[in-house]
């Protein structure tokens, strides 16, 4: 029951953080001078098209852009009745995209799930790669395994994500005949889920997962290696070896369990960086996640669209961090329930 209470507490703090984030996001999307509609109105006036002006003016009042900023914020979030009563993010109305002239929910649609999928795959990749390599690098410290993994790790940290993506795509296509661009075969777009579609998505995921995960995996691996090395020097390890335990069994049974905690806790630091990376990589590789949508929305000052995408990206990280916190408590009974560094 204790764990449930903690999970609830963690959920509460997450909601609070999300609320602060919403203020931040609203300020940021309102930073550019003017808004999409007033710019459009000015443009229409300048070119003498009065018909469009009326429509834009109508939209302006429809989306409460003529109200003072603080009211706009409350209407956007859904804490205050707008022109159509309570209808904001909280109520599930994500706003209107002026650029595409369609509701935001319709535009982002599928890409939300694909975003979650890409990031999930990357997180899995990080764990699957970092865990064995980190343990191996520690157990065989100062051997070729150690040095090679450190070298590859450094390269992964230093190469800009987007270039790695381009290069891997190019060579992946040339040598392994991996598909280029996108997250699925164009034929499957808009089709219902099926075995073939899943297979197509999986094959398309290989390169993006690798690109997004590499820098995270190398950082994670280095940390696991350092933690393991700390543990390996302790007397209990010596005792276990002296008593004749096989090295692999000894590693898995004692030091790994101790070194594993920071490994789980670290996801909180890792996730923001990885989601950043996925946005960038999606733009370069043309994945149907919300990365490219965000970029166009920001460039055209489509504020509701960019605001929603920013909120979604933040929500994704917050949920990920929350899950890792709860997992950590489950894993390690020594951790106090009040929070990590209170």
Partner 1 sequence: MTQLPDGRFVDDAPYDPQASVLELERKDLDAPNWVLIWRKFKTHKLGLVSGAFLLICYLLLPVVGFIAPYGPNQRMSEHLYSPPQSINLFHEGEFLGPFIYPMTSEADLETFQWVFEPDYNNPMKLDFFCEGKGYNIAGLIPSDTHLFCAPEGATVFLWGSDRLGRDIFSRILFGAQLSLTVGLIGISVSFVLGIFFGSVAGYFGGKIDWVINRVIEVLRSLPELPLWLALSAAVPSNWSPVAVFFIISVILGILDWPGLARSVRAKFLSLREEEYVRAAEMMGASSGRVIRKHLIPNFMSHLIASATLSIPAMILGETALSFLGLGLRAPAVSWGVMLNDAQNLASIEIYPWTAIPMLPIVVIVLAFNFFGDGLRDSLDPYQQ
Cβ proximity to partner 1, 20 vs 90, nearer residue? 20
Cβ proximity to partner 1, 53 vs 322, nearer residue? 322
Considering only 273, 323, 326, 335, the residue that binds partner 1 (CB under 8 A) is 273
Q: What is the CA angle 296-299-300, rounded to 5? A: 85
Candidate ranges 14-22, 82-90, 185-193, 223-231; the one touching partner 1 (CB under 8 A):
14-22
Instruction: Locate 323 and state its tokens.
Output: 């899950």
Q: Cβ 257 to partner 1, closest distance in Å? A: 27
Under the criterion CB under 8 A, does residue 268 sit at the interface with partner 1?
A: yes
Cβ-contact 232, 134 below 8 angstroms: no
DSSP string covering 44-79 = HHHTT-HHHHHHHHHHHHHTTTTS-HHHHHHHHHTS
Instruction: Work out the number of other CB atoms within 10 angstroms of the CB of residue 95.
Output: 20
> Which sign, positive or negative, has the C-alpha torsion 130, 135, 140, 142?
positive
Q: Cβ 314 to partner 1, closest distance in Å? A: 5
Cβ proximity to partner 1, 207 vs 251, nearer residue? 207
Cβ proximity to partner 1, 151 vs 236, nearer residue? 151
Cβ-contact 251, 135 below 8 angstroms: yes
Q: Where are the alpha helices (DSSP H) in the chain?
A: 2-29, 36-46, 50-62, 69-77, 104-139, 144-158, 161-176, 195-232, 235-242, 247-253, 255-265, 267-285, 290-300, 303-331
Under the criterion CB under 8 A, does residue 28 sit at the interface with partner 1?
A: yes
Under the criterion CB under 8 A, does residue 39 sit at the interface with partner 1?
A: no
Binding mask 149-188 for partner 1 (x = CB under 8 A): -----xx-xxxxxxx--xx-xx---------x--------
| Cα 254 to Cα 228: distance, rounded to the nearest angstrom | 10
Candidate ranges 45-53, 83-91, 264-272, 329-337; the one touching partner 1 (CB under 8 A):
264-272
Considering only 135, 277, 288, 293, the residue that binds partner 1 (CB under 8 A) is 277
Cβ-contact 248, 282 below 8 angstroms: no
| Cα 216 to Cα 166: distance, rounded to the nearest angstrom | 18
- Residues from 280 through 319 that contact partner 1 (CB under 8 A): 280, 283-284, 294-295, 298-299, 301, 306, 309-310, 313-314, 317-318
* Interacting residues with partner 1 (CB under 8 A): 17, 20-21, 24-25, 28-29, 31-33, 154-155, 157-163, 166-167, 169-170, 180, 268-269, 271-273, 275-277, 279-280, 283-284, 294-295, 298-299, 301, 306, 309-310, 313-314, 317-318, 321
């Amino acid at each position: 029951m204790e764990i449930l209470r903690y999970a609830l507490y963690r959920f509460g703090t997450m909601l609070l953080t999300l609320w602060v984030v919403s203020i931040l996001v609203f300020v940021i999307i309102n930073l550019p001078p003017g808004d999409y509609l007033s710019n459009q109105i000015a443009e229409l006036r300048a070119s003498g098209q009065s018909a469009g002006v009326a429509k834009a003016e109508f939209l302006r009042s429809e989306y409460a852009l003529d109200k003072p900023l603080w009211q706009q914020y409350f209407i956007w979030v859904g804490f205050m009745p707008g022109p159509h009563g309570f209808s904001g993010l909280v109520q599930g109305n994500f706003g209107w995209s002026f650029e595409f002239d369609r509701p935001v929910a319709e535009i982002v649609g599928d890409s939300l799930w694909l975003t979650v999928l890409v990031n999930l795959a990357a997180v899995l990749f990080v764990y699957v790669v970092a865990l064995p390599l980190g343990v191996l690098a520690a157990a065989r410290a100062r051997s070729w395994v150690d040095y090679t993994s450190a070298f590859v790790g450094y390269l992964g940290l230093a190469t800009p994500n987007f270039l790695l993506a381009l290069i891997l795509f190019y060579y992946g296509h040339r040598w392994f005949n991996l598909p280029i661009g996108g997250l699925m075969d164009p034929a499957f777009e808009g089709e219902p889920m099926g075995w073939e579609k899943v297979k197509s998505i999986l094959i398309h995921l290989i390169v993006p997962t690798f690109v997004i995960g590499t820098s995270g995996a190398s950082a994670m691996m280095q940390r696991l290696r350092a933690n393991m090395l700390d543990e390996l020097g302790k007397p209990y390890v010596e005792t276990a070896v002296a008593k004749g335990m096989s090295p692999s069994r000894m590693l898995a049974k004692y030091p790994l369990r101790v070194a594993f905690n920071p490994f789980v806790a670290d996801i909180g630091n890792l996730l923001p960086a990885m989601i950043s990376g996925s946005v960038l990589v999606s733009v370069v590789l043309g994945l149907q996640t919300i990365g490219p949508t965000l970029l166009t929305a920001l460039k055209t000052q489509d504020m509701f669209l960019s605001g929603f995408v920013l909120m979604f990206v933040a929500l994704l990280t917050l949920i990920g961090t929350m899950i890792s916190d709860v997992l950590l408590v489950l894993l390690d009974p020594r951790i106090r329930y009040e929070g990590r560094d209170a």
